[in-house]
Each structure stands twice: as structure tokens, then as C-alpha cells.
């Protein structure tokens, strides 16, 4: 068997993809060996031809496959023991970077020994096919087990505690995993968890093991915010603490903290939003456990558990029924979490409450408002707040989300128009809120929403001009001014729609590039 090449000896930035380093690819192969391509996905018939010999192993069948490799069940013929054999997909499309990452995975996993980490037996090549021979675990992934039969709260806590202890051992060995998720945790028939797949693992205090500086690597649903932003200076053990919290969250609620059909949308949620409180999804979750989970998922790394070991200790204390003071959070932190969890609703409530407060002061302290004007404006602001709360509730329902966003944006313009009619119409200083609403519509990243908001804004302002022209003889109408303002509103809407369109094209390009890379690997 060939030995592992030290990844630190090969700097990816100094290498040409068309001219791979010979120490990665070269090995002695049998010159008279038959040419086989048993991993070629275009030849599915070969996948059913089990068993077959593969060097010192006999392949018995396929266990699973991912973006880069396939895992087979096999037997090591000399020792007559079951093994898992991971190989790289499609040798014909092999690149030196894939091999480097593949060997880095083996190096990372082989450098640690722990009862809850899948062990590595050896690595090598057979007929040019790189492979890793690993400990065979009779069972299935945590993701598959939880989908088939949801784990109880106690079982979920026990599993995550054991995994956290394994990750703490990994960190003590100066390694971080960076891809913790239920599909990378195996459960044996006794329910014991085993951490596997070290393809993204890297060392601490060095250039890294398996580090890919050209892209954000990992699974968006379980990725820490600093990892999602690609902030290399922040990536470390606390990313794994976040991943453990994401795994616990899914086991408790049935879904990861953030999930969207578009990876970019998921990354945005990971970076900007707070996860829903687990108890709002599954009310039977103990409050203490919810606090443990949410502490792991804090945006700021310093607010999470300082280590995987401390997380494991708190989970063990929870199972023992002990009171955990470390899960307490201040009122300020809770408010910050709520603001991040519901940014649209929070911004509405803050702005509308501010205007209501100003109106209250002007009427009761300065006596510069008439009762009719005062109560009409407060009624408009109150209805605006109530409608915002209602639209936010509909955003939680996937089938109403798109419609709720559209009607919410439209209602904002209509409520503003009603407030302007009560506050001087086209002479009101609040007209500046029209372009602000247009700009805010772009934050949803939906072109149809931007154009709908633009159209409603133009009609509403046109209505204000017509209302002033027909009902108030004291106001001199300068149509050229209003035409310029209407043209400005249209231009703002057009530019925002163009910006959203360009973002969509960039995302589409990124998705195609990611698909191409995944196909090649």
C-alpha cells in the first residue's frame, strides 16, 4: 500500500491542475492488470456485480455515496474482517485537488483514536483507484435513523453528548471537523454514535488539513456563521460547537436550524437570522435543553460553549437532572435574538412605534395636533402594526410565504399613503418614506416584489397628487415637480430590480459552478 503524502508538503496554490504532482498520483501498478472502471456512473450494470476482488479486499456491496466518494462494504481477505472502503468517484475525472483532499481526510482521521470516531486501517491504490479502508460499523447514519424513527429527547441528548466528547478529543488532537451533520454520524445496532467523514477537517495553528481556500466548504444547514462567511481567522473548534448544536436542533425538532431550497438563501439565514426557538416547533422540549441548543447556535462564537467538552458536560448534567446556571441568558441577549429572528417585523414595530411616540408627545405635551388628526393617525399606525404582525405570522407558512411578502409590501405603501393624506398629502415631509419602502423591497431578493412595490408606489403618489388637485384649492400644483418625483421613484425601483436581477445571475452561476465541480468530483 502507498503511504500518505503529507498535505503540508504540497501547496495547492503552487500547482497546475493540468500538471498534478507526481507524488500524489504515482504508484506501481500491475502492467498486465485488466483495465476496469467500476466506479463509472455511466456503467450502472457493474455496480451490481458483487462480490469482486479489489486488491487485498473483496467488495460485497455499496453502503452509500456522496459528492466526492463512494463507500463500499468489504472484507479484508488476509484478516477476514469486515471493513468500509471509501473510494473517489470516477477515476477518469480525477484531479489532484480531489486526491489531496481525499488523502487529507485519511490523514486527519488516522491521527486520532477514540471509541466514537470511525477508525482508519490503511490507505492505498488499486489499479490507480485511491481508497481508504475504515472500521466497519453495522448500522446506519443518524440522519437515516432519525427519519425512520425519531429519537426520543433523552436518546438525542445522549447521542450528541457522546459525539461532543469525541469532538473534544479531536480538538485536543489539534483538529477540527467542520462538517458535523447527522449524515456524518453513524449509529451501530446498540445506538452508539461514530463520527466519520473528515474530508473538511483541518489542523489548528497551521495551514490546515484538507483546506480549500477557493470556496466556502461545508453543508450550509449546519455551518457556523463565520464558516459561512469564509472568515478564515474565526474558523476553529467553536465551528464544531455550532455544528453540534445544529445536529441537536434537528434531532429535537425534525429539521436543521435553517433550510432553504437555495444554498445562498440558507447561507444568508445562517449569517443574519436567528433560528426559531425549538419549543415553538416542539413544545414538549424542556426549556433547559432549548437554552443549551440555542447557546450552541449563537452568532458570536464567544457566546457559545467555549468547548465541546463543556457542552458534553452540560448535556450529561441535563440527563442527570441537574440545574444548569450556564444556560441563563440576559434580557438584552434575548431581545437581540428576537431582532435577528424577525428582522422585518422588528423594523416595522420599531419605526411605527417611534412615529406613534412622537405623535403622542406632540399632542399631549405640545398641544399642536387636533384631536381628529391625532386619533386618525394613531388608528392608522395601530392598524399598520396589527397587519404587520399578521403578515409575519403568514411568513412561517411555506405555501403563503410568497403571497404574504407581496401583500405586506403593498400594505406598507397603502398605509403610508393613508398617513400622508392625514398629514398634508404631497406637502408632507414623510414623502421620503416612499423611496425607503422601495429600497426595503429589494431585501426580499424577489424581482416581482420590487416591481409590484414600485407600481403601487407610483399609483399611490399619483393618487395624492390628484387628491390635492381636486380637493384643496390652497395648494398650487406644479406638475413638473411631481413628474420628476414619479420618474425618480420609477428609477429607484428599476435600479433595485436590476441589482436583484444581477444577484440572481451571480447565484445561478455559482450554483452551476458548484454542480460542475460536484459532477467532476
* H or E stretch covering 175: strand 175-176
Q: Check pLDDT > 90 for residue 160.
A: yes
Confidence of residue 143 (pLDDT cuts 50, 70, 90): very high
Select which of 9, 16, 37, 179 is catalytic: 179
pLDDT digit string, tens, across residues 67-94: 667 888 999 998 989 999 888 765 444 4
Question: 46 or 283: which carries more pLDDT confidence?
Answer: 283
Cβ neighbourhood burial of 42 (10 Å; 0-12, 13-18, 19+): exposed
**pLDDT at res. 13:** 41
pTM of the predicted structure, to 2 decimals: 0.65
% of the chain at pLDDT higher than 90: 38
Q: Among 16-25, 124-133, 278-287, 456-465, where is mean pLDDT lowest? A: 16-25
The residue-averaged pLDDT of 418-441 equals 88
Helices (H), 323-446: 331-341, 343-364, 371-395, 398-421, 433-441
Q: Check pLDDT > 90 for residue 42.
A: no
**pLDDT at res. 29:** 37
pLDDT digit string, tens, across residues 307-320: 999 999 999 989 98
The residue-averaged pLDDT of 255-262 equals 83
**Cα 131 to chain center, whole Å?**
30
Phi, psi angle pair for 70, to nearest 5°? -120, 140
pLDDT digit string, tens, across residues 323-368: 565 555 567 766 776 777 788 898 899 989 998 888 888 888 877 7
Distance CA(15)–CA(127), nearest Å, equals 24
**pLDDT at res. 36:** 41
Q: Are 373 and 359 in contact (CB under 8 A)?
A: no
**Peptide bond before residue 51 is cis, with ω within 30 degrees of 0:** yes
Per-residue burial over 359-369, b = 16 or more CB atoms within 10 Å of its CB, e = otherwise:
beeebeeeeeb
Phi, psi angle pair for 133, to nearest 5°? -95, 120
Q: Check pLDDT > 70 for residue 102.
A: no
- Judged by DSSP in three states, 64 sits in strand
The residue-averaged pLDDT of 142-161 equals 93
Q: What average pLDDT does the chain have? A: 80
Q: Are 339 and 195 in contact (CB under 8 A)?
A: no
**pLDDT at res. 63:** 85
Q: Among 124-138, 286-300, 317-331, where is mean pLDDT lowest? A: 317-331
Distance CA(384)–CA(352), nearest Å, equals 8
Question: 416 or 35: which carries more pLDDT confidence?
Answer: 416
Question: 110 or 500: which carries more pLDDT confidence?
Answer: 500
Q: Check pLDDT > 60 for residue 399.
A: yes
Distance CA(489)–CA(304), nearest Å, equals 44
pLDDT digit string, tens, across residues 176-210: 988 899 999 999 988 999 998 877 777 765 444 44
Question: 217 or 401: which carries more pLDDT confidence?
Answer: 401
Tell me, yes or no, if 37 is annotated catalytic: no
Distance CA(61)–CA(70), nearest Å, equals 11
Q: Among 278-287, 351-360, 382-391, where is mean pLDDT lowest? A: 351-360
Q: Check pLDDT > 90 for residue 471.
A: no
Q: Check pLDDT > 60 for residue 122.
A: yes
The residue-averaged pLDDT of 130-148 equals 89
CA angle 24, 29, 32 (to 5 degrees): 155
Task: Go through the domains of the chain in sequence order and give each one's CATH number.
Answer: 7-135 (3.30.200.20), 139-329 (1.10.510.10), 393-519 (no CATH)
Question: 330 or 15: which carries more pLDDT confidence?
Answer: 330
% of the chain at pLDDT higher than 70: 77
**pLDDT at res. 459:** 95
Q: Check pLDDT > 50 for residue 374.
A: yes
pLDDT digit string, tens, across residues 17-26: 444 443 433 3
* H or E stretch covering 164: helix 153-172
- Neighbour tally for 410: CB within 10 Å: 18
The residue-averaged pLDDT of 124-143 equals 86
DSSP 420-473: HHTTTGGG-GGGGHHHHHHHHHGGG--HHHHHHHHHHHHHHHHHHHHHHHHH-T
What cell numbers appear for 300 in the block? 458570536
Amino acid at each position: 500500500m502507498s503511504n500518505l503524502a503529507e498535505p503540508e508538503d504540497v501547496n495547492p496554490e503552487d500547482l497546475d491542475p493540468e500538471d498534478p504532482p507526481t507524488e500524489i498520483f504515482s504508484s506501481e501498478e500491475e502492467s498486465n492488470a485488466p483495465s476496469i472502471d467500476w466506479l463509472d456512473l455511466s456503467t450502472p450494470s457493474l455496480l451490481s456485480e458483487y462480490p469482486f476482488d479489489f486488491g487485498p479486499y473483496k467488495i460485497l456491496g455499496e453502503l452509500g455515496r456522496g459528492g466526492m466518494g463512494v463507500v463500499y462494504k468489504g472484507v479484508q481477505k488476509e484478516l477476514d474482517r469486515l471493513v468500509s472502503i471509501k473510494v473517489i468517484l470516477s477515476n477518469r475525472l480525477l484531479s489532484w485537488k480531489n486526491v489531496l483532499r481525499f488523502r487529507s481526510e485519511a490523514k486527519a482521521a488516522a491521527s486520532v483514536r477514540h471509541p466514537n470516531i470511525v477508525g482508519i486501517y490503511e490507505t492505498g491504490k488499486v489499479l490507480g483507484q485511491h481508497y481508504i479502508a475504515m472500521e466497519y460499523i453495522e448500522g446506519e447514519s443518524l440522519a437515516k435513523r432519525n427519519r425512520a424513527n425519531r429519537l426520543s429527547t433523552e436518546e438525542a441528548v445522549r447521542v450528541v453528548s457522546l459525539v461532543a466528547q469525541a469532538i473534544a478529543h479531536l480538538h485536543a488532537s489539534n483538529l477540527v471537523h467542520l462538517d458535523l451533520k447527522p449524515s456524518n454520524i453513524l449509529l451501530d445496532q446498540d445506538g452508539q454514535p461514530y463520527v466519520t467523514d473528515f474530508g473538511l477537517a483541518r489542523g489548528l495553528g497551521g495551514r490546515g488539513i484538507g483546506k480549500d481556500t477557493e470556496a466556502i466548504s461545508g453543508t450550509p444547514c449546519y455551518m457556523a456563521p463565520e464558516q459561512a462567511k469564509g472568515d478564515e481567522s474565526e474558523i476553529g473548534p467553536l465551528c464544531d460547537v455550532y455544528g453540534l448544536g445544529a445536529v441537536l436542533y434537528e434531532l429535537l425538532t425534525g429539521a436543521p436550524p435553517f433550510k432553504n431550497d437555495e444554498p445562498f438563501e440558507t447561507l444568508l439565514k445562517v449569517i443574519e437570522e436567528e433560528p426559531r426557538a425549538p419549543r415553538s416547533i416542539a413544545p414538549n422540549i424542556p426549556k433547559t435543553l432549548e437554552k443549551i441548543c440555542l447557546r450552541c447556535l449563537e452568532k458570536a462564537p464567544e457566546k457559545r460553549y467555549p468547548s465541546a467538552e463543556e457542552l458534553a458536560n452540560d448535556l450529561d448534567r441535563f440527563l442527570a437532572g441537574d440545574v444548569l446556571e450556564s444556560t441563563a441568558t440576559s434580557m438584552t441577549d434575548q431581545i437581540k435574538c428576537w431582532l435577528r429572528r424577525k428582522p422585518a417585523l422588528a423594523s416595522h414595530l420599531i419605526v411605527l412605534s417611534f412615529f406613534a411616540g412622537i405623535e403622542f408627545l406632540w399632542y399631549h405635551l405640545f398641544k399642536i395636533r387636533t384631536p381628529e388628526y391625532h386619533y386618525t393617525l394613531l388608528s392608522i399606525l395601530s392598524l399598520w402594526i396589527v397587519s404587520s404582525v399578521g403578515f409575519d405570522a403568514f411568513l412561517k407558512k411555506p405555501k403563503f410565504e410568497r403571497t404574504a411578502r407581496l401583500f405586506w409590501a403593498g400594505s406598507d405603501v397603502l398605509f403610508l399613503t393613508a398617513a400622508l393624506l392625514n398629514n398634508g398629502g404631497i406637502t408632507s415631509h414623510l414623502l421620503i418614506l416612499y423611496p425607503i419602502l422601495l429600497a426595503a423591497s429589494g431585501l426580499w431578493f424577489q424581482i416581482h416584489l420590487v416591481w409590484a412595490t414600485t407600481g403601487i408606489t407610483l399609483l399611490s403618489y399619483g393618487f395624492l397628487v390628484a387628491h390635492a388637485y381636486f380637493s384643496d384649492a390652497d395648494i398650487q400644483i406644479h406638475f413638473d415637480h411631481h413628474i420628476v418625483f414619479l420618474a425618480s421613484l420609477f428609477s429607484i425601483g428599476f435600479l433595485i430590480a436590476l441589482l436583484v436581477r444581477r444577484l440572481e445571475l451571480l447565484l445561478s452561476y455559482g450554483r452551476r459552478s458548484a454542480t460542475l465541480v460536484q459532477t467532476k468530483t
